[in-house]
Homo-oligomer: A and B are copies of this chain.
Amino acid sequence: MRFTSLTSADGVTERSFTLDDIPGVLWTPHTEPTALVLVGHGGGQHKRAPGVAARAARLAAGHGFAVAAIDAPAHGDRPRSAEHERIITEMRSRMAGGGDPVPLLAELHTLLAAQTVPEWRSVLDALGDLGPVGYWGVSLGCALGLPLVAAEPRIRAAVLGLSGTSLASAEAAAGITVPVRFLVQWDDERVPRQEALALFDALGSAEKTLHANPGKHEDVPGFEADSAVRFLAGHLGRLG
């Protein structure tokens, strides 16, 4: 893992890193971190998207957690493979023709998940022990996070959601056993409500809580994000 830049502001240090060809960012508080939260960004976003950076600052400055984000394959600073290009091109042409992009989007998510799970695990190895580990990822970050959280025993709690059974793996969800906060937008224009509920239903965790609010995919209320931060803090903090 090679750190390539360092900035510091408002009690948080931000370091860019690369591990093999994976670009990432590590945010740390100015005190010894008490836990590490991995943040998986949304579709079309990247490791330093405004929502990711704001959440990282909140977790680091407010709770003393380290936070790591990486670009998912084909996102941010990462190249698209021929396979990525094929799916994205087909998806665009299908949408232009008024067709349903979901089967191709699901195919893309499956491809990206297979690539990113071992990447996240190698990042975890390289970061070393920064305390108990949590995961935060909704939308694409949920589809890629489900197999990661299921596979990685170091992850002890996860915030997931804004996805459904057509876009993410219910089989991976069934393999998860740690506490999960699952976010649903009641009027989500991208995720059919019943598919979101079915994905929550599929989660194997004994402790899982669904929080649903009115509004579209991007309209998660600020109080809900704050509550999810407290959920992670409760499970990863000193009492966790």
Q: Could you tell me which A residues sit within 8 Å of B by CB distance?
A: 184, 186, 197, 200-201, 206-214, 221, 224, 227
Contact (Cβ within 8 A) A211 B214: no
Copies of chain A in the complex: 2
B212-A186 in contact (CB<8A): no
Q: Determine if B201 and A209 form an interchain contact, defined as CB atoms under 8 angstroms apart.
A: no
Contacts of A207 in B (CB 8 A): 214, 221
Partner of A213, one of B201, B209, B214: B209
Complex Cα spacing A200 to B212, Å: 10
> Quick check: B209 and A224 within 8 Å, CB to CB?
yes
Known A-B contacts A197-B197, A201-B186; the reply to A213 vs B208 at CB < 8 A is yes
**For the complex, what is the distance from the CA of A201 to the CA of B186, rounded to whole Å?**
8
Chain A interface SS verdict (over half): mixed
Provide 11 A-B residue pairs closer than 8 Å at the C-beta atoms, listed in order of the A residue. Answer: A184-B210, A206-B214, A207-B221, A208-B213, A209-B212, A209-B213, A210-B210, A210-B211, A210-B213, A211-B211, A227-B227
Question: Which residues of chain B are near A209, meaning CB under 8 Å?
Answer: 211-213, 221, 224
- Residues from chain B with a CB closer than 8 A to the CB of A221 are 207, 209
Complex Cα gap A212–B209 (Å): 5
Closest to A184 in B: B210
Contact of B210 with A212 in the complex, beta carbons under 8 Å: yes
CB distance from A196 to the nearest CB of B (A): 11
Q: How far is the CA of A208 from the CA of B221 in the complex (A)?
A: 11
Of all chain B residues, the one with the shortest Cβ separation from A234 is B223
